[in-house]
Structure 1
Amino acid sequence: MLRTQLPDVGSTSLVRSAARLSVAPMMDWTDRHCRYFHRLMTRRAMLYTEMVTSAAIVHGPKARLLDYSGEEHPVALQLGGSEPAELAQAVRIARDWGYDEINLNVGCPSDRVQSGCFGAVLMKEPQLVADCVAAMIDESPVPITVKCRIGVDDQVPEQVLPAFLETVSQAGVDHFIIHARKAWLQGLSPKENREIPPLDYPLVLEMKRAFPHLTIAINGGITSLEQADGLLEQGLDGVMIGRAAYHEPGNTLIGADGLWGDGPGRDAFAVVEAMRSYIGRHLEQGGRLHQVTRHMLGLFHGRPGARGWRRVLSEGASRPGAGLELIDAALAELQPQPATS
């Protein structure tokens, strides 16, 4: 396990500040390589692990599931589960890894999540969620947060969401990330559940007005820093960006620290340069190039030569022996930006 000695690691103030912008937990995407890459573009935003089930942590390979690079802070662990005792045990195990926040998934609509009775189906059982987070809080030295939907299936969001927030907050959670869509547990695929149910930003804004003491962040359909800033200006405490941060990380995360009033930080070319030593270490440890570079394909999205950058990495990074020279070949595809006067 790797930890840093940041003075605010795991503090409530750090978590609340970092909530201003966060990158959503995304299965098969936000692994430790992705998070390290994203951290090079934003010092401030909260990064989330892929969802890990409490059962996997209790019974599975703990180091493989929980290890990360200390440079990733601030970073949150997202758990999936519905057994209070098991979730508490998973939190107790994870304490040694020094995550800044532990988040309970009450929003994922996938079939495999439903079959385990966790994720979005828990929107139907707010008291069970309250019992889960209470057990987690008892074992956690860092904030416990909840990521949820506005409702599921035939629920009326205007009724169920405030009741859900009231019940769960009474158990001790004061920080919610709300995906501003319903989840349809039958009839829609997980992909469709991220796109088809209509967004209801006004309802999430109303929840902040109704629960001013809670930290409320919004997720769903947010594709730019300008859009994020506009939602913050309306009174929300945070914005979580998902697919846009993954597919267009340069456009979405470079400059993101401006939401805290900081300077722009690295440009895309400097990010690639900063990734070299990380990739080199990964290769020396027996890793494959594509395990890291698959997360970097969209870095130059919209720039001349971006297609060539993606093609070189996509075609070559999975080949045996592929190394840092492929990064140079991919960079050579990018056309210099015209000088500005």
Structure 2
Amino acid sequence: MNSIQPTDKTQKINVISASRLSVAPMMDWTDRHCRVFHRMISRHALLYTEMVTAPAIVHGRRGQLLDYSPAEHPVALQLGGSDPAELAEATRIATDWGYDEVNLNCGCPSDRVQSGAFGAVLMKTPDLVADCVAAMIAASPVEVTVKCRIGVDDQDPAEVLPQFLQTVSRAGVKRFTIHARKAWLQGLSPKDNREIPPLDYPLVHRMKAEFPDLHLSINGGIATLAEARAQLEAGLDGVMIGRAAYHQPMDVLGAADAQIWGQGTPADPFAVAEAMKPYIDAHLAAGGRLHQITRHMLGLFHGRPGARGWRRVLSEGATREGAGLALYDKALACVAQPA
């Protein structure tokens, strides 16, 4: 199996350096297969799991929730929850699994997290967040971080965000990722909350000036590597990109190692496609299905001749019983190789 077990001592890349560019945690998207694919494109970007709730880890099937490939490092686990003791126990379990960072979700506005009193609703209770992260830090040998919004509902972000950062940082958190939008807990869907509330990048930059000792990454609306570089050049410590990295992975991650870290050359999508074959073969041999991996790879050849054929063959065929590397090669044959 392509999984890592507790106490694995795989060598890890420096997480602070990796966090200069990260791929956002996205439910139903950034699973372990997606992360292996993204790692084939960028050796340095920090990858995040989908949000996993603390109760699920403490009481559920830990292996199913926490297993991952050693190739994914540096990789961070994002936790959801609001009970300090439960979050501490989930953190202890997760770090036994070898994650490089544990992140507390204080930004997701979905009904599910609201009903559980965590996610973006925690922006209303910074003292509780401080209690949560203090308990997590006490249980963790790796860094505990927070992903948050600039505020929720009728809060004034210019007042709320600095108070939140101050309160939570006093509990020991030194690295925050700030989604530069409010979240509206009633009246907007999670999708709308990613698009409708206006972005306030200047506020995030002011927070960096006000809290120079904090490591602050910005998230929200950043769709290109050039935009990410501009945010770094303006003084922020990191940039997190979500959907653009998923749908156009080569555009965002392909040149990231060279342009963000000054290492290596831009990734080649054909080399990435070939490099994925052993992973796919092992997954199929273990009883997995082709589409579980290739559904994350549909954007690999975005903008190239034959990209539509690549997507069509995989979309139509990878879910079928017995689909394997022969179908994968058929899809690959649709894409025009460079002369």
The question of 1:142 aligning with 2:142 is answered: yes
The question of 1:264 aligning with 2:269 is answered: no
The question of 1:5 aligning with 2:10 is answered: yes
Contact 2:126 2:167 in 1 (8 A): yes
Aligned with 1:226: secondary structure?
A: helix
Map Cα deviations across residues 180-226 of structure 1 (whole Å, 9 max, x no partner): 00000000000000011111111101100110000000000111111
**Aligned twin of 2:217:** 217
- Give 1:151's aligned amino acid: G
**Aligned twin of 1:296:** 297
**Aligned twin of 1:62:** 62
Between stretches 257-266 and 269-278, larger displacement belongs to 257-266
Contact 1:256 1:264 in 2 (8 A): no
Any gaps of 5 or more consecutive residues in structure 2?
Answer: none
**Aligned twin of 1:274:** 275
Aligned with 1:76: secondary structure?
A: strand
Alpha-carbon offset, residue 5 of structure 1 = 2.6
Question: Where do 1:101-250 residues align within 5 Å?
Answer: 101-250=101-250
Hey, what's the Cα distance between the residues in 1 that align with 2:108 and 2:41? 27
Hey, what's the Cα distance between the residues in 2 that align with 1:297 and 1:242? 16
Task: Quote the RMSD (CA, aligned, Å).
Answer: 1.0
Alpha-carbon offset, residue 266 of structure 1 = 3.1
Hey, what's the Cα distance between the residues in 1 that align with 2:17 and 2:323? 40
Map Cα deviations across residues 216-265 of structure 1 (whole Å, 9 max, x no partner): 00000111111000000000000000000111111111111120111225
**Aligned twin of 1:97:** 97
Hey, what's the Cα distance between the residues in 2 that align with 1:238 and 1:290? 32
Hey, what's the Cα distance between the residues in 2 that align with 1:334 and 1:278? 21
- Give 1:103's aligned amino acid: N
Alpha-carbon offset, residue 334 of structure 1 = 1.2
Hey, what's the Cα distance between the residues in 1 that align with 2:84 and 2:25? 22
**Aligned twin of 1:323:** 324
Between stretches 36-45 and 264-273, larger displacement belongs to 264-273
Aligned with 2:136: secondary structure?
A: helix
The question of 1:52 aligning with 2:57 is answered: no
Alpha-carbon offset, residue 151 of structure 1 = 0.3
**Percent of pairs with identical residues:** 71
- Give 2:270's aligned amino acid: F
Hey, what's the Cα distance between the residues in 1 that align with 2:182 and 2:141? 32
Aligned with 1:155: secondary structure?
A: coil
- Give 2:209's aligned amino acid: R
Map Cα deviations across residues 248-288 of structure 1 (whole Å, 9 max, x no partner): 11111111112011122530000000000000000000000
Hey, what's the Cα distance between the residues in 1 that align with 2:200 and 2:264? 32
Alpha-carbon offset, residue 37 of structure 1 = 0.3
Contact 2:280 2:290 in 1 (8 A): yes
- Give 1:335's aligned amino acid: A
Contact 1:25 1:50 in 2 (8 A): yes
Hey, what's the Cα distance between the residues in 2 that align with 1:199 and 1:89? 35
What is the TM-score when the length of structure 2 is the normalising length? Answer: 0.97
Contact 1:158 1:203 in 2 (8 A): yes
Alpha-carbon offset, residue 335 of structure 1 = 2.1
Contact 1:29 1:50 in 2 (8 A): yes
Contact 1:31 1:50 in 2 (8 A): yes
- Give 2:163's aligned amino acid: A
Map Cα deviations across residues 120-156 of structure 1 (whole Å, 9 max, x no partner): 0000000000000000000000000000000000000
Map Cα deviations across residues 47-104 of structure 1 (whole Å, 9 max, x no partner): 0000000000000000110110111000000000000000001111112101000000
What is the TM-score when the length of structure 1 is the normalising length? Answer: 0.96
Between stretches 256-265 and 19-28, larger displacement belongs to 256-265
Hey, what's the Cα distance between the residues in 1 that align with 2:267 and 2:174? 34
Hey, what's the Cα distance between the residues in 1 that align with 2:141 and 2:190? 33
Contact 1:4 1:71 in 2 (8 A): no
Aligned length: 333
Aligned with 2:41: secondary structure?
A: coil
**Aligned twin of 1:41:** 41
- Give 2:276's aligned amino acid: M
- Give 2:317's aligned amino acid: G
Map Cα deviations across residues 27-51 of structure 1 (whole Å, 9 max, x no partner): 0000000000000011111000000
**Aligned twin of 2:312:** 311
Hey, what's the Cα distance between the residues in 2 that align with 1:288 and 1:149? 36
Hey, what's the Cα distance between the residues in 2 that align with 1:141 and 1:336? 46
Any gaps of 5 or more consecutive residues in structure 1?
Answer: none
**Aligned twin of 1:72:** 72
- Give 1:51's aligned amino acid: M
Point out 4+ residue stretches in structure 1 off by more than 2 angstroms: none
Alpha-carbon offset, residue 328 of structure 1 = 1.1
- Give 2:26's aligned amino acid: M
Hey, what's the Cα distance between the residues in 1 that align with 2:147 and 2:92? 20
Aligned with 1:278: secondary structure?
A: helix
The question of 1:254 aligning with 2:259 is answered: no
Aligned with 2:303: secondary structure?
A: coil
